[in-house]
Homo-oligomer: A and B are copies of this chain.
Amino acid sequence: MLRGVRRVEVTGLSLPVVREGDDLAELIVSAAEVHGVGLRSGDIVVVSQIVVSKSEGRVMPLASIEASTRAHRIARLTGKDPRHVEAILREAVDVLRVRADGLIITETRHGLVCANSGVDLSNVGENNVSLLPVDPDSSARRIRERIRELRGIEVGVIVSDSHGRPFRRGAVNVAIGCSGIEPVLDLRGSKDLYGRVLQSKQVCVADELASAAELVMGNADEGIPVAIIRGYRYRASEEGAAAIVRPREEDLFR
């Protein structure tokens, strides 16, 4: 291989079924060793929100949720379970769109604009819903600190979730939590091939890393909730994924 060639490797890790209270960092470190990839300083660990939510006890039985009048009304319109709708409404600060085909777009307490406030019926067994972590940046930081404690290494951690977007079909994996990595690189002021100074280039590398991770995480039934990304030189930062959320007043599209 030519010297200086840039190469990034993305490796998927399967985990045992995750339960509330599980030490996710320890499961990840063990899985990395069993899979023969190990973990090294400078690696990025991308963890799907569903296993973070499970380890943090963010799974609720539908039977424990009492649906409000508003939830019943939206449930009738969308064909959803009223208790599922109630969980969606509780996680939302704003309901942006409700559509008869079942789509509910909300803004979550984290500022994420996504379907169903990220409240999901998949991969949690019948009659349960999973909620997003309360503070995904803290979740990422705890996993990073615990990996440091267990193995004495410094990694970056991203908590990812699959989100739809306006204008383009299909969901892509994005970073809802992040620790140790500068999430948005500001290249303004750097120069192009001809020495021209760039005016407006900011790149959301945290979302690009999350998207790269989904290439090995694959489909829902395969149980690969973690990816190790090796070879990408990120800028260290204590800024979380909350910095990716565009404040309303800056947002051109609402």
Interface residues of A (CB under 8 A from B): 1-2, 5-12, 17, 34-37, 96-97, 99, 102-103, 105, 112-113, 115, 121-126, 162, 165-174, 183-185, 187, 190-194, 196, 198-205, 207-209, 211-212, 214-216, 218-221, 223-224, 229, 232, 243-246, 251-254
Q: What is the CB-to-nearest-CB distance from A125 to chain B, in angstroms, rounded to a whole number?
A: 5
Interface centre among A10, A102, A126, A199, by most chain B C-beta atoms within 10 angstroms, is A10
Whether A216 pairs with B8 at a CB distance below 8 angstroms is yes
Interface centre among A103, A112, A253 (most CB of B within 10 A): A253
Nearest CB in chain B: distance from A27 CB, A: 15
From known contacts A172-B203, A191-B221, infer whether A166 and B253 are also in contact, taking CB-CB under 8 Å. yes
* Interface pair A219/B172, CB less than 8 Å apart: no
Show 28 residue pairs from A and B whose CB-CB distance is below 8 angstroms, ordered by the A residue. Answer: A6-B218, A7-B216, A8-B10, A8-B216, A9-B9, A17-B193, A102-B199, A102-B200, A105-B252, A122-B201, A123-B193, A123-B194, A124-B194, A168-B245, A169-B184, A169-B202, A169-B204, A169-B244, A170-B203, A171-B204, A172-B211, A187-B219, A193-B220, A193-B223, A207-B211, A208-B212, A212-B212, A215-B232
Chain B proximity of A47: nearest CB distance (Å): 16
A166-B251, A166-B253, A211-B212 known; A171 vs B245 contact (CB < 8 Å): no
Complex: how many Å from CA A167 to CA B122?
25
Q: Which of chain B's residues has its CB closest to A11's CB?
A: B7
**Alpha-carbon separation in the docked complex, A66 to B97 (Å):** 43
Contact partners of A215 in chain B: CB under 8 A: 8, 205, 208-209, 212, 229, 232
Closest to A99 in B: B252
In whole angstroms, how far apart are the Cα atoms of A193 and B59 in the complex?
A: 15
> What are the nearest 9 A-B pairs in CB distance?
A170-B204, A212-B212, A166-B253, A1-B36, A211-B211, A6-B12, A170-B184, A208-B211, A6-B216
Q: How many copies does the complex hold?
A: 2
Among B170, B174, B194, the residue within 8 A (CB) of A202 is B170
User: Which one of B126, B173, B219 lies within 8 Å of A194 (CB-CB)?
Assistant: B126
Which residue from chain B places its CB closest to the CB of A248 in the assembled complex?
Answer: B167
- Provide the residues of chain B in CB contact with A190, threshold 8 Å: 219-221
Q: How far is the CB of A208 from chain B (nearest CB, A)?
A: 4
